[in-house]
Structure 1
Amino acid sequence: MTDETHNAIEIGRRAVLRSAGAAVVAGLVVGSASDAGAQGTDAMPATARNEAPLGARLQGVQHFGLTVQNMERAYQFYTEVLGGTEVFRHGDFQGDGVQNTLLADQEIEANTRGVNPRTIGVPDLRSGAQRLDVRFIQFDNMVLELLQYREADQPMGSSKSFAEPLEHMSPAFPRMMHICFYVRDDVDFNKFIADLEAESARRGMTQVRANRTVRVTTETDRKAAPRSANTNRVTEAPSDGWELIYCKGPEGEQLEFVKALGPVKKRFSEALAQRQAIVR
């Protein structure tokens, strides 16, 4: 195969994946950036807005942040596999202002415990011994921010973070969060999951594994489960019409992919309309 043929196939594959994987956060299931209370549609003057309830001063969720161990691997997954678009990247953040803004509460905690801040995962951005890099990735109505704290002698995009990753990634742990992507209504959900796993495996991202709706006790069992076991379809109200799978991302992060169809989609639409009426 020539390099030109390989490149053409790769471009085609990415285009297909972007089309299938175009997604938004489930919490904003039926909204879009243009209808989510954008500025310019409100008649409320600024003086009144500043005295309004806190919720009326918000425009919604701007981004979710994910601290990663391997920046390039995570970036490849969220852009090349899931089809997100890079907004910009910035890095080498260090200094007193950055340390105070991001880590003051953790430094207070370390002082209270009488321990070295590093032992509880607090980097030293103040002196520049460690640095912070970020990359913003745009999806339909949500931005994902990838963050990496690294040693100063490590290059940007390093595969090695300052702190070791958490070993226990069960979604049952308090404070554990997940990122949820919204699959388009006309997409074959079972095939989407199969393609997601295959594309990730092709790139060596072995952590990207979706759960099944049938009981499995080994990885062999999971792989052997029928494709129809990829998707959990909820039929009981008020979640009727909800389809979902849980999946680990390349960093071990918890991901969810959902569809919201029929009754549950209507409930989200009605809630969004009520929310917009209150804010405006």
Structure 2
Amino acid sequence: MSATSNTGVEAISNERRDVIRAAGAATLTGFASSLLVSAAPAAAQPTGTDRDNGPLGARLQGAQHFGLTVQNMDRAFEFYTEVLGGNEVMRDGDFHGGPIHYTLMTDQEIIARDLKVDPRTIGVPDLKGGTQRLDVRFVQFDNFVIELLQYRGAEQPMGNGDSWAEPRDHMSPAYPRSMHICFHIRDDVNFAKFISDLEAECARRGMSQVKANRVVAVDTEEQRKAAPMSANANKITQGKSNGWSLIYCKGPEGEQLEFVQALDPVKQTFQQAVERRRRPQSAG
């Protein structure tokens, strides 16, 4: 291939990356960003000692981050920053020793002791002794942060290679305790095209695990890929969720993702809920 054609391919790739980055960075703004705002919801809220004696909910200021334990830190970081357009906040790591071990693993140590099994067999790393280490990276989106965590062997360099523990194979969202990360697509974005562009960009990067579901029945991966673009989003047009569109998608680590778009009238429902929460509580 000539230098000219290489430049052309690079230009196309850069253009695709810019499109996906712009769409991916379109996380929640407007009504739902208010749900996670860190400012106090009402001027009449108590402060200091008074707040410490108040309801637990009055002591919170929303969600700070969502955590995701990953098999491969570099791959996950590439997805959430370069594909979905998040910005790195900070990275830290090589965490080990007693305090961090007990902070994270006390409950699992008790379970292992009750079961009379080696904690390592139920996924408990040896942070206390330093055989394993913990690394973290924080990625900022418009209104929330994702924390990527990797537990690795002490001999493994930070940020690359595989996790110390094996990944879980069964990732159905129907399992109790399963959680997902939901990204909000801007009102003026074509939902179906966003999903198609997301899959294309991830395929170009070799992230074969990134697969969005379809709203029609498919029996094979080939049928999933061949489904029409209109099958990329479940658009709800009646009931209390009227105006809500969604699709479930697996991320590069096998994590459960959701992409949604919330238009009127359901958008107004959420806006009204925010307004109710922000109203000062009446005395007595």
**What is the CA distance between 1:13 and its match in structure 2?**
3.5
> Structure 1 pair 235/34, CA: closer, same or farther in 2 (3 Å)?
closer
Q: Distance in 2 between matches of 1:5 and 1:87?
A: 33
Matched, 1:42 2:35: no
SS of 1:66 mapped into structure 2: strand
SS in 1 for 2:124: coil
Give the stretch that moved more between structures: 195-204 or 158-167: 158-167
* CA-to-aligned-CA distance 1:75-134 (integer Å, 9 cap, x gap): 000000000000000010000010011111111111111110000000000110000000
What secondary structure does 1:238 align onto?
A: helix
- Equivalent in 188, 192, 216 of residue 214 of structure 1: 216
CA contact (8 A) 1:77 1:250 kept: yes
- How far residue 190 of structure 1 moved from its aligned partner, in angstroms, is 0.6
Within 5 Å, give how 1:48-197 maps onto structure 2: 48-197=50-199
| Conserved? CA contact 1:29–1:260, under 8 Å | no
TM superposition score normalised by structure 2: 0.91
Whether contact under 8 Å (2:34, 2:274) holds in the other structure is no
Deviates more, 1:7-16 or 1:203-212: 7-16
Q: Structure 2: 5+ residue runs without aligned partners?
A: none
Instruction: Measure how far apart 1:8 and its partner are.
Output: 5.6
> What is the match of residue 245 of structure 2?
243
SS at match of 2:212: coil
Cα distance between partner residues in 2 of 1:54 and 1:128:
36
* Structure 1 residue 231 corresponds to structure 2 residue 233: yes
CA-atom RMSD in angstroms: 2.2
- Which residue does the alignment assign to 1:31? 32
Distance 1:47 1:31 in 2: 30
Local SS of the residue matching 1:162: coil
Taking every aligned residue pair, what percent have the same amino acid on both sides? 62
**8 A Cα contact 1:183 1:258, kept in partner:** yes
Match of 1:266 among 265, 268, 279: 268
- CA distances 1:19-46 after superposition (whole Å, capped 9, x unpaired): 1112436xx9723369835049634331
Distance in 1 of aligned mates of 2:30 and 2:67: 19
Q: Distance in 2 between matches of 1:35 and 1:130?
A: 34
Distance 1:39 1:278, change over 3 A: closer
Letter in 2 for 1:63: H
- Residues 1:19 and 2:22 aligned together: yes
1:227–1:7: structure 2 CA closer, same or farther, 3 Å change rule?
closer
Provide, for residues 28-78 of structure 1, a one-character-per-residue CA deviation record: whole Å limited to 9, x for no partner: 972336983504963433122111111111110010000000110000000
Deviations 1:179-232 (A, max 9, x none): 000000000111000000000000000011111111001001111111111110
Q: How much has 1:277 moved relative to structure 2?
A: 1.7
Paired residues of 1:22 and 1:83 also in contact (CA < 8 A)? yes
Of the structure 1 ranges 134-143 and 227-236, higher mean CA displacement relative to structure 2 is found in 227-236
> What CA distance in whole angstroms lies between the structure 1 residues aligned with 2:158 and 2:265?
46
Normalised to the residue count of structure 1, the TM-score between the two structures is: 0.93
